[in-house]
Amino acid sequence: MEAIKDKERVLKEIEKYKKIAVIGLAKNVGKTTVVNYLAGNLSNVCILTIGRDGEERDVLYGTKKPPINLKRGNFAVIPYEFVGGNLEIIDTFDLVAGRFALVMARIDTQIQVARVGGFDFTNDMADYLLEFCDKVIIDGAFGRVGIAPYMDANIIVCGTASGDIKSNARKIKRLMAKKVDPEIEEKILPHKDSIVLMGRDEKIFDPDRIEEAIKISNDADFVYIPRVIDQFTFSRIKSSVVVPSADFVLGEGDFFVINEIKILAIAVNSVSSKEEAPSTLIDGLKSIFNDIIVFDVLYDP
Output the pLDDT for position 8: 93
pTM for this entry: 0.89
Q: How confident is the model at residue 251 (pLDDT cuts 50, 70, 90)?
A: confident
157: nearest Cα among 68, 265, 231: 265
Query: Which residues have C-beta within 8 Å of that of residue 267, sequence separation ≥ 6?
Result: 22, 30, 34, 155, 156, 157, 158, 295, 296, 297
Gap between the Cα atoms of 218 and 57, Å rounded:
48
Gap between the Cα atoms of 119 and 151, Å rounded:
10
pLDDT, one tens digit per residue, over 38-84 is 999 999 999 999 865 444 444 333 445 578 999 999 999 999 999 99
Output the pLDDT for position 277: 67
Domain ranges of the chain: 6-176+261-295, 182-257
Is the Cβ–Cβ distance between 71 and 43 less than 8 Å? Answer: yes
Q: How confident is the model at residue 12 (pLDDT cuts 50, 70, 90)?
A: very high
Output the pLDDT for position 278: 65
Mean pLDDT, residues 124-141 = 94
Output the pLDDT for position 53: 41
Mean pLDDT, residues 169-195 = 94
The domain 6-176+261-295: what is its CATH number? 3.40.50
Q: How far apart are the first and last CA of the chain?
A: 17
Please report, as a single letter, which amino acid is at residue 256. Answer: F
Lowest-confidence range among 2-6, 50-54, 223-227?
50-54
Of residues 227 and 164, more confidently modeled: 227
pLDDT, one tens digit per residue, over 144-159 is 688 999 999 999 999 8
Output the pLDDT for position 298: 84
Output the pLDDT for position 160: 81
Secondary structure string (H, E, C) spanning 251-290: CCCCCEECCCCCEEEEEEECCCCCCCCCHHHHHHHHHHCC
Question: Is the pLDDT assigned to residue 110 strictly greater than 80?
Answer: yes
Q: How confident is the model at residue 162 (pLDDT cuts 50, 70, 90)?
A: confident
150 phi, psi to nearest 5 deg: -80, -20
